[in-house]
């Protein structure tokens, strides 16, 4: 429809900024979602290059493609990138774009705070990557175990980048969590009861709760590390009575909920894609909501399964073995409900559907190996070997990334108004699926044969050379698939077929408005009367409302204070690197000035 004309007639005034300045000052949730998406895809490529470097080093025994020190930096940055700079933000990108549309809102609850989250995330990512410029990237693993990460054992700036960089990124995540919890509680359209919300929004809700509860624990762990490294405290130093295991407790108290922060959004995506392409409502909607929430809740009581090797004692080991196994129940419920949704449906295997089905298969494998090392005696044989690497890559590459790929094929038409190329998409899927299994499946065996993780090379006598070569070939195939994906995004954006407002004939509210949606999302906010507003009665009215000419709509104006405040916050932490005690205070003063302007800025 002719949106622009309608706007002029009805008195909707766009804020009229264009180009780079528009992107820098935008507070529109859709543009911020695109910024998050583009940034995380760039980090996906960087993290992928790091992975390929690692695999190239491991292609044959006793290889010297890169040095041991470089290897440490590469595997650490690979982990940090894929968790903090790709996995979390790419989910937030979809939360940003899709959640307000799914609940019938015009934006998130706090649009400027949303922009601030993005800019802090970007500054944190740039700060972390600036470490490569001086050749001192973090090298102590993404888990940064104390006391190896302490000044006496890591004297260089490497782990300073770690402790300060993650602190910056954590602030962005907490703000994002607060924003999305509030958005989902407050901004639902009339009739959009909690138990009518699409599963993706539900999983965004649970994930946001995990963000606001888990990230502060990481913040405290990192502050202790920072104090130890910069001001000589002894939180993790055994010589002064400190306990390195405290780091592990705090880190994994954050780290296990973090696993669900990474996987629940993918669960949400799959729960949208499968019903759409099975032409059936999601099987057991309520149970899916409860099981997702339960996973988030129990996820808080399992952290020490990462610490069986530290010797917690039989009672703690038994407790955490049992609690971890219990999580398999709600997770299994989800898997069976997806299968039951497909059962008897009119299946249509688009690329989005292929990735969702592939995700269920790969995630199930990762889940099963997870239950294997939930058993503490079993874990003692597997910990620190490639078996664990195989497990979490099945969950994160097979689960999270395939889920996100599925979501991007599914929502690309909504975001751009154009369809993605299905032929390229299917090449992307099959190459990725084959490459992923070639890379990670042999790692189970390599691990059980005793190949340790995080070691830059291995001896020929271990007899794992052939399997490692196979893994490396698999990783190159994934590299090719990733390039095809980027090519498909660019090509389809330029000359994809027009999509229309609901190309998949899907059921949820985001498909009611035009593709791409206007800045204000819905001409009139539709009233929701059921769980599948575009399938059930009243759908004509919902679409008519969504695409109606807008009445008077006030959208918040753009602002440059979010980016300035973000630069202030990142600079404050970066100035710690100078080791001049008053230097961060300069950054703090600048930040305070920005916060004041942010607070007093008019939003009308």
Partner 1 sequence: MDHAATLPAAGHAETATGLNTFKVGFWVFLGSETLFFGSLISTYLVYKHQSISGPYPDQVLNIPLTSVSTFVLLMSSLAMVLALAGVQRGNRRQGLFWLFMVAVLGSTFLGFQAYEFTEFYHKGLTLQTNLFGSTFFVLTGFHGAHVTVGVIWLLTLWVQGLRGELPPERSLTVEIAGLYWHFVDIVWIAIFTLIYLLQ
* Contact positions vs partner 1 (CB under 8 A): 105-111, 174, 177-179, 181-182, 185-190, 192, 212-217, 219-221, 223-224, 227, 231-235, 240-243, 246, 250, 253, 522-525, 545, 551-556, 596, 603-604
- By a kind-dependent CB cut-off of 5 to 8 A, residue 227 interacts, out of Cu ion, partner 1, none, with partner 1
Peptide bond into 516 cis (omega under 30): yes
Beta bridge partner(s), residue 418: 498
Size of the site for Cu ion (CB under 5 A): 1
- By a kind-dependent CB cut-off of 5 to 8 A, residue 427 interacts, out of Cu ion, partner 1, none, with none
Q: Three-class SS of residue 541?
A: helix
- By a kind-dependent CB cut-off of 5 to 8 A, residue 580 interacts, out of Cu ion, partner 1, none, with none
Q: How far apart are CA 247 and CA 308, in angstroms?
A: 15
Q: Which residue is nearest to Cu ion (CB)?
A: 256
Q: How far apart are CA 410 and CA 354, in angstroms?
A: 11
CB 354, min distance to partner 1, A: 36
- By a kind-dependent CB cut-off of 5 to 8 A, residue 173 interacts, out of Cu ion, partner 1, none, with none
Contacts to Cu ion from residues 241-270, by CB under 5 A: 256
- By a kind-dependent CB cut-off of 5 to 8 A, residue 181 interacts, out of partner 1, Cu ion, none, with partner 1
- Range 407-446 burial, b when 16+ CB lie within 10 A, else e: bbbbbbbbbbbbbbbbebbebbbebbbebbbbbbbbbbeb
The closest alpha carbon to 72, from 387, 445, 382, 457, belongs to 457
- By a kind-dependent CB cut-off of 5 to 8 A, residue 111 interacts, out of partner 1, Cu ion, none, with partner 1
Question: Are the C-beta atoms of residues 50 and 41 closer than 8 Å to each other?
Answer: no
CB 304, min distance to Cu ion, A: 9
Tell me whether residue 112 or residue 280 sits nearer to partner 1 (CB atom): 112
CB 550, min distance to partner 1, A: 9
Helices (H), 421-538: 422-448, 465-495
Q: How far apart are CA 538 and CA 377, in angstroms?
A: 57
CB 274, min distance to Cu ion, A: 26
- By a kind-dependent CB cut-off of 5 to 8 A, residue 42 interacts, out of partner 1, Cu ion, none, with none
Tell me whether residue 377 or residue 500 sits nearer to Cu ion (CB atom): 377
Tell me whether residue 10 or residue 246 sits nearer to Cu ion (CB atom): 246
- By a kind-dependent CB cut-off of 5 to 8 A, residue 6 interacts, out of Cu ion, partner 1, none, with none
- Range 130-164 burial, b when 16+ CB lie within 10 A, else e: ebeeeebbbbbbbbbebbbbbbeebeebbbbbbbb
CB 240, min distance to partner 1, A: 7
The closest alpha carbon to 87, from 397, 483, 476, 408, belongs to 397
CB 174, min distance to partner 1, A: 5
Fill in the per-residue mask, 191 to 210: x = in contact with Cu ion (CB under 5 A), - = not in contact: --------------------
Question: Are the C-beta atoms of residues 127 and 164 closer than 8 Å to each other?
Answer: yes
Tell me whether residue 202 or residue 392 sits nearer to Cu ion (CB atom): 392
Tell me whether residue 200 or residue 363 sits nearer to partner 1 (CB atom): 200
What lies within 8 Å, CB to CB, of 304 at 6+ separation is 249, 252, 312, 316, 319, 320
- By a kind-dependent CB cut-off of 5 to 8 A, residue 530 interacts, out of Cu ion, partner 1, none, with none
What token pair was written down for 321?
């073995």
What token pair was written down for 187?
């901004």
The helix or strand, by DSSP H or E, that contains position 128, with its residue range, turns out to be helix 111-133
CB 546, min distance to partner 1, A: 10
Question: Are the C-beta atoms of residues 184 and 100 closer than 8 Å to each other?
Answer: no
Tell me whether residue 230 or residue 535 sits nearer to partner 1 (CB atom): 230
Tell me whether residue 354 or residue 553 sits nearer to partner 1 (CB atom): 553
- By a kind-dependent CB cut-off of 5 to 8 A, residue 222 interacts, out of Cu ion, partner 1, none, with none
CB 292, min distance to partner 1, A: 19
Residue holding tokens 């109606």? Answer: 548
Tell me whether residue 27 or residue 388 sits nearer to Cu ion (CB atom): 388
Tell me whether residue 111 or residue 292 sits nearer to partner 1 (CB atom): 111
Tell me whether residue 179 or residue 331 sits nearer to partner 1 (CB atom): 179
Question: Are the C-beta atoms of residues 562 and 603 closer than 8 Å to each other?
Answer: no
Q: Three-class SS of residue 138?
A: coil
Question: Are the C-beta atoms of residues 187 and 222 closer than 8 Å to each other?
Answer: no
- By a kind-dependent CB cut-off of 5 to 8 A, residue 339 interacts, out of Cu ion, partner 1, none, with none
Peptide bond into 150 cis (omega under 30): no
CB 252, min distance to Cu ion, A: 7
Residues that bind Cu ion (CB under 5 A): 256
């Amino acid at each position: 429809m002719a949106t622009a004309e309608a706007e002029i007639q009805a008195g909707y005034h766009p804020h009229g900024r264009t180009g780079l300045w528009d992107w820098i000052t935008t507070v529109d949730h859709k543009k911020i979602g695109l910024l998050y998406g583009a940034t995380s895809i760039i980090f996906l490529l960087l993290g992928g290059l790091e992975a390929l470097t690692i695999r190239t080093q491991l292609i044959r025994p006793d290889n010297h493609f890169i040095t041991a020190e470089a290897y440490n930096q590469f595997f650490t940055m690979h982990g940090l990138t894929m968790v903090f700079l790709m996995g979390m933000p790419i989910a937030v990108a979809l939360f940003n774009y899709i959640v307000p549309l799914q609940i019938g809102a015009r934006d998130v609850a706090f649009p400027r705070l949303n922009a601030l989250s993005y800019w802090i995330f970007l500054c944190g990512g740039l700060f972390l990557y600036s470490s490569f410029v001086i050749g001192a990237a973090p090298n102590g693993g993404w888990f940064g175990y104390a006391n190896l990460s302490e000044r006496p054992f890591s004297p260089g700036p490497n782990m300073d980048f770690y402790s300060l960089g993650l602190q910056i990124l954590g602030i962005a995540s907490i703000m994002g969590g607060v924003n999305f919890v509030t958005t989902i509680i407050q901004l639902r359209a009339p009739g959009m009861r909690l138990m009518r919300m699409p599963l993706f929004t539900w999983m965004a809700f649970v994930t946001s709760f995990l963000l606001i509860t888990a990230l502060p624990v990481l913040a405290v762990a990192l502050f202790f590390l920072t104090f130890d490294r910069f001001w000589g405290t002894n939180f993790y130093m055994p010589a002064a009575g400190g306990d390195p295991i405290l780091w592990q407790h705090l880190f994994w108290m954050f780290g296990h909920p973090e696993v669900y922060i990474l996987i629940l959004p993918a669960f949400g995506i799959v729960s949208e894609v499968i019903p759409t392409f099975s032409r059936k409502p999601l099987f057991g909607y309520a149970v899916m909501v409860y099981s997702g929430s339960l996973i988030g809740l129990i996820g808080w009581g399992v952290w020490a399964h990462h610490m069986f090797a530290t010797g917690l004692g039989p009672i703690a080991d038994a407790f955490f073995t049992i609690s971890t196994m219990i999580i398999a129940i709600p997770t299994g419920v989800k898997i069976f409900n997806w299968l039951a949704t497909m059962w008897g449906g009119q299946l249509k295997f688009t690329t989005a559907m292929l990735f969702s089905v592939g995700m269920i298969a790969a995630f199930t494998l990762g889940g099963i190996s997870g239950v294997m090392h939930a058993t503490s005696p079993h874990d003692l044989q597997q910990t620190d070997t490639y078996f664990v690497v195989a497990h979490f890559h099945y969950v994160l590459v097979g689960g999270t990334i395939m889920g996100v790929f599925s979501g991007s094929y599914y929502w690309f038409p909504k975001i751009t108004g154009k369809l993605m190329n299905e032929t390229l998409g299917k090449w992307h899927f099959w190459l990725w699926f084959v490459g992923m299994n070639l890379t990670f499946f042999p790692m189970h065996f390599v691990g059980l044969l005793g190949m340790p993780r995080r070691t830059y090379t291995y001896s020929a006598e271990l007899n794992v050379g052939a399997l490692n070569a196979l893994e490396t070939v698999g990783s190159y195939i994934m590299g090719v698939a990733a390039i095809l994906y980027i090519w498909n995004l660019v090509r389809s954006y330029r000359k994809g077929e027009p999509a229309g407002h609901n190309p998949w004939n899907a059921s949820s509210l985001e498909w009611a408005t035009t593709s791409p949606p206007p800045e204000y999302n819905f001409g009139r906010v539709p009233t929701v009367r059921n769980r599948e507003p575009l399938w059930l009665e009243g759908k004509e009215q919902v679409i008519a409302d969504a695409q109606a000419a807008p009445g008077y709509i006030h959208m918040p104006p753009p602002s440059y204070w979010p980016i300035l405040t973000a630069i202030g916050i990142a600079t404050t932490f970066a100035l710690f690197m100078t080791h001049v005690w008053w230097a961060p205070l300069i950054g703090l003063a600048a930040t305070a000035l920005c916060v004041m302007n942010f607070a007093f800025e008019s939003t009308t």
